[in-house]
Copies of this chain bind each other. A is one copy, B any other.
């Protein structure tokens, strides 16, 4: 069988992050690859010159977007696999009517986000940052401060996205009650996640709240001042999705009251302003939008889409395929 010609857009430095040795061998064995040897990402012009021969394109962070002009020349193209997060800006809608299949490794990133959520949740419930910082200040126990258990607790989830699903899977041994707000989720689909559908008010009243909503016009500032006021005292609030989902001003006021703990990986504006008052609050655990970033998670990205493309070529069931309808509702 003639091997398919694969155009791998990522240069060596990016491949080191998102493509394991095993994946390179797999691409070399199964396809006829053209590796990017320029030491940097291709320009739009370079890609336009290369695309007419490509039967499969593999991209990742930094790869140039495919334009309608490129698609016109991409007469042999059968599949595009994006070894990274959002695929929306990489391919125009036109690609679907051309019969090109699109694959995105975004769901693999969800596992890393799920682990981040459980990490910050357990750590916040136990006040570990406060204990660590008291010891660094020369103290020992903190009078009256006692951690809480996750086991048997109630977790409120906003949006049943892939990151929420990854997080919920990790909650299995804790016998928690899970409430999900998601207007597109049916009761049956919620039950398959061992969760119950709830409205936003109910979810925001849980002792543990985790935000997984995508950034869309409909989700902008969906967590209003009134909803934020429902967060119970002593709660743990986690945001690993997008900062603008929260009304930032009202949220800062709630945080400054110190009445609950928040683990925040995303912010209204990133990077955070150097003088942003959130940087000095004691009741927040801050990270620079790295919930989805892990060594193992990144290294698996190209392998996941490559294997999925191979499954698709063999007409087997795929995991990472994105269709036109999914593309339309994507963030």
Report which A residues bind B (CB closer than 8 A): 111-112, 115-116, 118-120, 122-123, 125-126, 128-129, 131-132, 134-136, 138, 140-142, 146-152, 169-170, 172-174, 270-272, 274, 279-280, 285-290, 293-298
Contact = CB atoms under 8 A, between A and B. Distances in A.
A134 to B, nearest CB: 8
A147 B200 CA distance: 32
Contacts of A116: 126, 147
B112 A149 contact: yes
B288 A146 contact: no
Given A115-B149, A138-B274, A142-B288, 10 more contacts: A119-B119, A119-B128, A123-B123, A129-B132, A131-B288, A132-B286, A140-B271, A147-B295, A170-B173, A172-B173
Interface centre among A112, A129, A149 (most CB of B within 10 A): A149
Contacts of A297: 149
A294 B298 CA distance: 35
Contacts of A148: 294-296
Nearest to A132: B286
Contacts of A128: 119-120, 123, 285, 287
B172 A140 contact: no
Contact of A296 (B149, B290, B295): B149
A289 B126 CA distance: 12
Nearest to A292: B147
Given A136-B280, A293-B146, A294-B146, A151 B115 contact: yes
B118 A298 contact: no
Contact of A135 (B136, B141, B149, B287): B287
Nearest to A286: B135
Interface centre among A112, A115, A131, A272 (most CB of B within 10 A): A115
Given A140-B271, A271-B140, A119 B115 contact: no
Contact of A140 (B173, B272, B280, B296): B272
A10 to B, nearest CB: 17
Interface centre among A122, A286, A297 (most CB of B within 10 A): A122
A129 B286 CA distance: 9
A109 to B, nearest CB: 11
